[in-house]
């Protein structure tokens, strides 16, 4: 963020304190002092100064609020919204440009804008990088990268501003897609970006944990449990994560779920629970744990 302060000469001393405070917040500033008289040569220099800065602060004295350069700068910056503000006691142009009379309030506002602007620039860089690497900047391309386990490209999509909670046309979140494909690193990236760990996919009514169990992805089950994934959910067929893990033969994943508190006696829509499926499918390792944990019920 590069801030051009367009101000009256009489406010130079006052603005020195402001510029010092902004420098401490990581905001580079440069001053353009309103000249006593306005000539064409001034205009050329002034336009260059405006164009080479990302943000503008207008700080006139009361008697120079109508100065031609200030009026021009206000028109130049008004369309930029948050990128232009005023340091004055009187709002300019019916409040089109945000106006601050208090130094502390102005410093906080500009600091917040610096954070927003850094995000804007980061998104531009990420978008350009994706384009340079031949990727479409699209939801479908993001999903493809996730299903391929391409962590670096997925990070670029997130940096571009794509949500970690996107769902495809079938109602399956990008997190669930990465889990079903067995890509722990991508799933971790999405979770760290704020993806909903308990989102239920529309096709199976599965959460990411249930998908991890159904695919026998023990490392993903461990990751999701460590991050607090809910255990109570059941799929469209009424099966909880434990039943899904047993059905897949993922006894290590089932043991993790059981240790975390999953209920092995929740019956699905066919009336069978994890213990009954384990008995039917010969999941001996799991049954030994059940007998030790629930001797009165098995």
Give, for 141, the enclosing helix (H) or strand (E).
helix 139-148
Domain boundaries, the chain: 2-119, 133-201, 204-298
Q: What is the pLDDT of residue 78?
A: 78
In the chain, % helix, strand, coil (3-state, to 5) comes to 55, 10, 35
* End-to-end CA gap in the chain: 67
Contact between 166 and 201 under an 8 Å Cβ cutoff? The reply is no
pLDDT value at 44 more than 90: no
Q: How confident is the model at residue 296 (pLDDT cuts 50, 70, 90)?
A: confident
pLDDT at 81 over 80: no
| Mean local confidence (pLDDT), 267-283 | 94
What per-residue confidence (pLDDT) applies to 96? Answer: 80
Question: What is the pLDDT, as a whole number, of residue 79?
Answer: 74
Contact 298, 291 (CB under 8 A): yes
- Give the contacts of 256 (CB within 8 A, at least 6 positions apart): 218, 221, 222, 225
For residue 117, what is the DSSP state? H
- What are the start-end ranges of the E strands in 17-137? 28-33, 55-59, 84-87, 99-100
User: Does this chain's domain 133-201 share its CATH topology with 204-298?
Assistant: yes
CB atoms within 10 A of CB 176: 29
Give the C-alpha separation, 117 to 115, whole Å.
5
Looking at the DSSP assignment, which residues form a beta bridge with residue 29? 3
CATH of domain 2-119: 3.40.50.10140
pLDDT of residue 179: 97
The pLDDT, as a whole number, for residue 277 is 95
| pLDDT higher than 90, residue 36 | no
Closest C-alpha among 159, 166, 151, 154 to residue 127: 159
Name the pLDDT band for 77 (thresholds 50, 70, 90): confident
The pLDDT value given to residue 211: 97
**DSSP β-bridge partners for residue 87:** 100
User: What share of the chain has pLDDT > 70, as a percent?
Assistant: 98
Q: What is the mean pLDDT of residues 54-81?
A: 87
* Cα–Cα nearest to 257, from 210, 296, 294, 292: 210
CATH architecture of 204-298: Alpha Horseshoe (1.25)
Kindly state the average pLDDT of the residues 203-212.
95
At residue 296, φ and ψ (nearest 5 deg) are: -80, -10
Task: Quick: pLDDT tens for 82-141.
Answer: 799 999 988 776 568 889 999 999 999 999 999 999 999 999 999 999 999 999 999 999
pTM of the complete model = 0.75
Question: Which pLDDT score, from 0 to 100, does residue 113 have?
Answer: 93
The predicted pLDDT at position 91 comes to 79
Whether the CB-CB separation of 210 and 233 falls below 8 Å is answered with: yes
Q: Looking at domain 133-201, does it have CATH number 3.30.360.10? A: no
Neighbours of 218 (CB within 10 A): 18
Quote the CA–CA distance of 139 and 148 in Å, as a whole number.
14
* 34 vs 297, residue with greater confidence: 34
- Predicted pLDDT at 257: 97
Closest CA to 32 of 69, 79, 86: 69
Q: What per-residue confidence (pLDDT) applies to 93?
A: 62
Which residues contact residue 257 at a Cβ distance below 8 angstroms, ignoring those fewer than 6 apart?
A: 213, 221, 225, 231, 241, 242, 245
């Amino acid at each position: 963020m590069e801030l051009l302060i367009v101000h009256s000469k009489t406010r130079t001393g006052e603005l020195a304190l402001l510029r010092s405070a902004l420098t401490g917040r990581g905001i580079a500033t440069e001053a353009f002092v309103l000249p006593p008289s306005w000539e064409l040569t001034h205009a050329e220099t002034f336009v260059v100064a405006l164009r080479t800065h990302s943000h503008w602060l207008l700080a006139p004295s009361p008697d120079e609020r109508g100065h031609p350069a200030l009026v021009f700068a206000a028109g130049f910056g008004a369309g930029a919204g948050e990128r232009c503000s005023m340091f004055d006691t009187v709002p300019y142009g019916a409040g089109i440009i945000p106006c601050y009379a208090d130094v502390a309030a102005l410093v906080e506002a500009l600091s917040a804008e610096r954070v927003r602007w850094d995000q804007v620039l980061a998104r531009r860089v990420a978008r350009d990088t994706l384009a340079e690497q031949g990727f479409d900047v699209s939801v479908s391309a993001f999903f493809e990268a996730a299903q391929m386990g391409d962590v670096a490209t997925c990070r670029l999509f997130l940096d571009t501003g794509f949500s970690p909670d996107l769902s495809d046309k079938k109602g399956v979140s990008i997190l669930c897609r990465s889990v079903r494909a067995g890509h722990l690193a991508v799933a971790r990236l999405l979770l760290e970006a704020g993806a909903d760990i308990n989102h239920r996919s529309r096709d199976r009514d599965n959460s990411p944990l249930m998908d991890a169990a159904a695919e026998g992805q023990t490392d993903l089950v461990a990751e999701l449990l460590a991050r607090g994934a809910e255990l109570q959910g059941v799929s469209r067929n009424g099966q909880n994560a434990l039943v899904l893990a047993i059905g897949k033969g993922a006894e290590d994943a089932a043991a993790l779920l059981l240790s975390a508190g999953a209920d092995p006696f929740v019956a699905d829509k066919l009336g069978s629970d994890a213990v009954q499926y384990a008995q039917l499918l010969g999941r001996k390792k799991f049954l030994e744990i059940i007998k030790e944990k629930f001797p009165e019920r098995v």
